Structure 1
Amino acid sequence: MSGRDWRPFSPGSRARIGFDKSQPETDAIAEGDNRNSGAQDTASASQGASGGNGHANPIAEDPERPNRNDPPKASGGVALVVSIITAAIAAAGVWVSNGNLEATKRQADAASGQLSVMMEQLSDARSSAAAADSAAAIEMAKQDKQISANQTLAAAAANQAIAAKTSAEALKGQVALMQAQQRPWITLNISTKNPLQFFNLPDGPHAFMPLDIRLENIGQSPAFNVNSVTWGYLSYPGHADFTQEATSRCESFRKEVLDNPNRGEILFPHDHVDISLNDQRHFATQAIGFMPKEIASAADRENNITIFLYGCVDYMFGKPKTHHQSGVIFQLFKRVKLQNGQTALDYNFKIGENIPASDILFLKTPSDSWQTD
């Protein structure tokens, strides 16, 4: 194709570049070839009419021939090139699209591979978690078993401790029983060979009665520093708690004995000592007496009084020696003759009425062992 045959490509050209899919590219190429043939035929006819001298002869105007002022039509070669370029561009677009598809496919394959790896990792994690749960369950079962075993051991140890404590208490009780069987026990008994007498003096009536006291060791070992004391007690309103009175006085007596550890008697098992009015060593236990004010406070409407007597015995034994004390409480009764000739006991003593020793009786009260160790 020469330079003078080139014409600008016009949008009105009938050549197609492949965008209209209803006309194949071969149609555009054939149409170009037909047009080239028509041009050659027209040139030959012109030369024949002029007789070959180059002068044109007038010819009838072809109504189908384009006007000179019309835009030039593309030749068949240009259309072919354009068609080839268009096809190349379309192929390039398809190749680019295919390339993008391949890249997308590779990315999808890579993502699928990563997903597979993640799924495997998740499966491994689940397996590890299951294994950990199983191990934890096994460990918890072991711990529960160990706890149960420890509880069993603790219960057994507690039972053993209870049994040991029971045995120890039983042994302690046996030891205490043996000691109680082997230790000295001192009893205090009171009687009298003299009457209860009232003396009317200027300040009022006085009461006095000598006592006979026997201290006896009924235990199995000697008692040392045996000593005793007795007091008379009149009961009246506001002065009726004789146990409290006895406790207070015996505690004071205990201190006196401790301050004088060499005082008192030694009593061997089944031995006794009698203390009477003529015994100067135990003058404090020889008699009881009451003053006028005390008698007046204790007198009832019939001028009677109620008499109690309490005593304490202190002694020591053992190695080293330990201090022990026994307390007793008695109530005085008198024998009276009834009209039917029978004898009865009466605890009311008429003020001013003397009672012979044969009619006096000392009876221990229910609280006679109020203090014994």
Structure 2
Amino acid sequence: MSQPSRSASTPASARPSPADSTDVFDHGVEHEQVVFAQDPASGLRAIIAVHSTALGPALGGTRFYPYASTADALRDVLALSRGMTYKAAVAGLDLGGGKAVIIGDPTADKSEALLRAYGRFVESLAGRYYTACDVGTYSPDMDLIGRETGYVTGRTAAVGGAGDSSVLTAYGVFCGMRAAAEHAWGDADPAAVLDGRTVGVAGVGKVGRHLVGHLTQAGAEVVVTDVAQGALDRVREEYPRVRVVGSTDELVATELDVYAPCALGGALTDEVVATLSARVVCGAANNQLAHDGVDKLVEEAGIVYAPDFVVNAGGLIQVDDEREGAHGFDFERARARTAGIYDTTRAVLERAASDDVPSAVAADRLAEQRIRDVGRLRGIWLG
């Protein structure tokens, strides 16, 4: 039985960031397993990181991205996999945390041979790690990976899979945003709390586009930006009332009630916090805090921060339903479970207020408590 790493019981303020290390044995980074995978014939270069299996097998998506160096890829996969441990724990899932990255340009380097070679490496871990979609990978890619391994989720509906996990990721962020907005403004009707509010969405790709749909239906005024013109064009076509600005800097400087970072990590820097007019930050991007001290700056600025790994767990819930479902994936069942992110977000914000700590610390404490309690019980049963 693998035990949770010591990082799972170390306060966030004292825990070194995996982003500070390119050696998994340095700086207290205590992942259970890190696998470097290479297949010269297909060009595959990948890293699979299993952070913890204290609550169950590690599950996390595969990111296909043109990292500048192997060190950059390693930093990213270490941070992302640790986040998955906490995401699964606070969502109440019987899963551990893992993540994978494939180094390369998905538009140029992705091939059936490469994905199937990657699937064989996933299979070699014998169920310690389940993969799914992430940036640069899609459900059809999971179908190809699934021809080599059963430890894959997020496949297309045509093969009995859950499909695109961004659908419920966006819904979960929306549920968490309603809870955070209710906490910030004290509105009695959570269904109407975003009506008339101005929400800025940075990144309208997979998840952000679906989030825009929920926000417009809720009556919010939505402002968006993205580095990809195609993503902006698609949002403009689907939601003509949405306002587009030219950059994230411009979006952050806009008068907002809610800011939703939905692109890559590190969105909340000292400079962004100092500039933001938004009262609430709630988005889908992973690892939004640029460094450990930012959570305190957010709190001091009077911003209600809904921790990313709390609100973006909908996709994990979706693919876990595919993995666990005895009779196949059930979207409505997964959606009902995802709706619970509203209550979880409320619990985190209430814990932060009662403990007088930033919400990111409160979320860590709730996750760590479950890892300790349930992980210990699982160890007793499994020996």
TM-score (norm 2): 0.19
Name the structure, 1 or 2, with higher relative contact order (CA <8 Å, separation 6+). Answer: 2
More strand by share: 1
TM-score, scaled relative to structure 1:
0.19
